[in-house]
Amino acid sequence: MKIGIYNILKARFLVNEDATKNWRFIVFLIVLAIIMIANTHRFEQKIFKIADLTNEVKELRSEFVDRRSELMKLKMESTVSKKMEARNIFPSQVPPQKIKVKQPEEKSFFKKIWQ
């Protein structure tokens, strides 16, 4: 038992005759570790990008709400009439009337024949 541990500590398994098998396995483990590290790094980059985009969406949504409320204030009749008073345009005292246009009735083919 003591000799086995001593050989492992001295790394004799790397310089023996059948060391190529051990080296292949060690290289495989190193490549696997590098792939795992790269995968974790890409995963963390995606998480940071998602967090940044989420913050940007929140900011844009709040800006949209602000602009929409500002637009609603600008569209109000009182705001428009105040701005038009500066140009000497005043609101009408007479309410508007709806104009209805009647389209001539198209006669069917049979009604045209019988006339």
pLDDT of residue 51: 97
Question: Any residues with CB less than 8 A from the CB of 22 and at least 6 apart, and which?
Answer: 13, 14, 16
pLDDT in tens, 78-115: 888 888 888 888 888 888 899 998 888 777 777 777 76
- Using a cut of 0.85, tell me whether the model's pTM lies above it: no
pLDDT in tens, 43-67: 999 999 999 999 999 999 999 999 9
pLDDT of residue 115: 66
How many CB atoms within 10 Å of residue 26?
A: 13
pLDDT of residue 20: 75
Report how far apart, in Å, the C-alpha atoms of 86 and of each of 70, 75, 76, 89, 91 are. 21, 17, 16, 7, 12
Residue 7 above 90 pLDDT? no
Residue 41 above 90 pLDDT? yes
